[in-house]
Amino acid sequence: MRKLLIGAVVSTLALLFATPAQAATIRPVTGFGSNPGALQMFEYVPDGLPSGRPAVVVLHGCTQDAAVYARGSGWVGLADKLRFKLVLPQQVSANNFNKCFNWFQAGDIKRGSGEAESIAQMARFSAGSRTYVTGLSAGGAMTSVMLAAYPDLFSGGGVVAGLPYACATSMIDAYSCMNPGKDLTPKQWGDKVRAASTGSRSPVSVWHGTADYTVAPMNLRELSEQWTDVGAAVDTHAVTGMGHGQPIAPGSGCGQAGPYLLDVGVCAAAELAAKWRLGEDGVQ
């Protein structure tokens, strides 16, 4: 685990966000599949984007919507600069009153069913040369779901303030996972992923604030143990003093501060984009 220092990323962020935003808009998409989880789909495609560019599935947290999180986290600015598309699933209150993805419901976390299958259909519909998945809080927990159930779809994932796959099987159980958290052995965590699907596992980045009292910081360790046990390359990022939310750096052009979008001078989205080399494939 490494502690992030603000000064180490400022110059990188300045370069990443130097280009002004393009004229593209976040737009709704229909007809992407059978949508068994009854989710909404939005997409952000920078103007003039060449075919075959990478795609990132971005999963919002509770009480948020797709557009607020995509812009506030910095992903829209990065898509403009580095030339890739965003796939933006959105929860609806009919599924969950607080608009949380249902990462704790058995019918929504299995391959081929519920919300997980809806998100997979969106990813397939907008597939790029490489597709990644990331999300915050409930969206981070759903990122774990997608990596566990659909390893064939994703080249990597970023879990921000999230939870291990199959940590809970009910809403009541979900609160125990969030805080104080569950301490299982690496094999116990890994067995849950192996039961979800087979196949090689892509790299996973795990981000968490050390002062997160909503989703206990111990979940960073449990996530690391789960994915390491199934053979994924894992890197962890403990953001010192940060509460529950997405690390952003508006002063360097990354994101817009708001509820669960925390200005800590560190941009998780930019670091993920760099790790995933989203500016490559011949386009800078």
* C-alpha to C-alpha distance for 242 and 268, rounded to whole angstroms: 12
* C-alpha to C-alpha distance for 106 and 113, rounded to whole angstroms: 9
Residue 11 is among the residues annotated as catalytic for this protein: no
CA 17 to chain centre: 20
* C-alpha to C-alpha distance for 165 and 58, rounded to whole angstroms: 17
Number of neighbouring beta carbons within 10 Å of residue 12? 14
Question: Which contiguous run of DSSP H or E holds residue 122?
Answer: helix 114-125
Q: Which of 73, 118, 126, 137 is catalytic?
A: 137
DSSP single-letter state for residue 151: T
Bridge partners of 29, per DSSP, are: 41
For residue 249, CA distances in Å to 5, 60, 256 come to: 12, 18, 8
Bridge partners of 89, per DSSP, are: 41
* C-alpha to C-alpha distance for 163 and 26, rounded to whole angstroms: 28
Determine contact, residues 205/237, Cβ cutoff 8 Å.
Answer: yes
Residues known to be catalytic: 137
